[in-house]
Amino acid sequence: MSNTTLRGRDFITWLDFSRDEIEAMLDTAHDLKKKFIRREPHKVLDGQTLHMMFYNSSLRTRNSFEAGMTQMGGHAHFLQPGAVYTPALKGDEVAYSTERISDVARVLAEMGDAIAIRIYGKPTGWEYGKGDRIIREFAKWSKVPVINMEDDIYHPCQALADVMTMQEKLGSNLQGKKFVMSWAYSGSVAKPLAVPQSAVLSAAMMGMDVTLAHPEGLDLDPRILQATKDLAKKNGGAFTITHDNMDKTFQDAHVVYPKAWTSQPTDGGAWDEAKAKAIFEANKDWICTQDKMELTNDAYYMHCLPADRDMEVTDEVIDGPNSIIIEEAANRLHAQKGMMALIMA
């Protein structure tokens, strides 16, 4: 289960890893899940410490990391840096207003075996890319692995759980399966881009036929779209972007992932909340219903949670037989254990 080539690596984005390396994490995750189900001890991180820094609230992420570290024989420290430090950008240097990231990262690295960080949205003033820059600044100074628990560009841990769940439902080889990442309406426009961006990247890496669907004005980062296109070509999949509604894009899909994300400039421009609200309100018909699900190839419904019921999706779908949201959430635990076992052990 050990893989020395991954030991000590940061886990910030799937783009830093090859498909073989990601599959090694997933294989380890599946193995550890079997051990968990059989209640077999698997203390591969015995005595190790994970420092978790949450600038954003969390249910699934915090509990899956804490439980995972405990099950592997280690311990997770919960840190709420906003109560002590405020992240700030000073010129070109990322720093805390009271203590620089270079100092915090080096001190925590002396006391533990990895640092995990979640930061996006309001704590960064909705400045796209700022959260990612803060995490990378930690990685620059830390001598132990830094794990991205979600920033404003990537959510690599959710992507691991998503792919792991699809492998359980569709088979380990996802080649050629149609994966639809669709925008869906929400009453809240404060929705980052990280989940859809990591979802299309990861599906493309696994050789799936990826469709990204959204109304005009809700474009993802062009750099992410180009990387997704490149991964699809490299791995024998396909990547299509469409502004057609769900009725058309859902046809023949094996997996659908309808989720809201905001309208946000990715080139340094300021987030315009009023503009985002106008786009959202003009597209209330982008809701995942049972009628739309019946157009698919008996597709599985996925969502990272929390989902906005009766806006993004109807109760009939999210609580229906093709919904795999609970398995998907549960696999956050196992997928992250697979990743940590290889970069920390």
Give the model confidence (pLDDT) of 243-298 as tens digits: 999 999 999 999 999 999 999 999 989 999 999 999 999 999 999 999 999 999 99
Tell me what percent of the residues of the chain surpass a pLDDT of 90. Answer: 88
Same domain, 265 and 336: no
CB 189 within 8 Å of CB 262: yes
| Whether the predicted pLDDT of 83 surpasses 80 | no
| Whether the predicted pLDDT of 88 surpasses 60 | no
3-state class (DSSP) for residue 278: helix
Give this prediction's pTM. 0.95
Torsion-angle region of 217 (φ positive above 0: left; ψ -120 to 50: alpha; else: beta) = left
Same domain, 77 and 138: yes
Same domain, 106 and 33: yes
Which residues span the domain enclosing 89?
Answer: 14-154+332-344
CB 213 within 8 Å of CB 287: no
Same domain, 272 and 149: no
Amino acid 81: pLDDT? 74
What's the CA gap between 6 and 314, in Å, rounded?
41
Same domain, 150 and 188: no
Poorest-confidence range of 40-49, 85-94, 226-235?
Answer: 85-94
Amino acid 345: pLDDT? 86
Amino acid 100: pLDDT? 83
Same domain, 76 and 209: no
What's the CA gap between 232 and 201, in Å, rounded?
9
Whole-number average pLDDT of the chain: 94
The dihedral sign for the CA sequence 126, 261, 193, 69: positive
CATH number of the structural domain spanning residue 215: 3.40.50.1370
Q: Is residue 7 part of a domain?
A: no
CB 343 within 8 Å of CB 9: yes
Domain count, the chain: 2
Same domain, 43 and 165: no
- Give me 7's structure tokens: 């030991």
| Whether the predicted pLDDT of 2 surpasses 50 | no
Amino acid 3: pLDDT? 45
Mean pLDDT within 59-87: 88
Same domain, 44 and 190: no
Same domain, 141 and 176: no
Same domain, 180 and 321: yes
| Whether the predicted pLDDT of 111 surpasses 60 | yes
Same domain, 319 and 340: no
Q: Is residue 8 part of a domain?
A: no
Q: Is residue 1 part of a domain?
A: no
The pairing of strands 93-96 and 87-90 is antiparallel
Poorest-confidence range of 60-64, 92-96, 181-185?
Answer: 92-96
Mean pLDDT within 158-182: 98
Instruction: Grade residue 57 by pLDDT with cuts at 50, 70 and 90.
Output: confident
**118, β-bridge pairs:** 54
Residue 272 identity: D
Amino acid 92: pLDDT? 47
Q: Which residues contact 175 (CB under 8 A, 6 or more apart)?
A: 206, 207, 208, 236, 237
What's the CA gap between 119 and 128, in Å, rounded?
11
Interval 294-322: pLDDT, tens:
999 999 999 999 999 999 999 999 999 99
Cβ count near 44 (within 10 Å): 21
Same domain, 47 and 130: yes
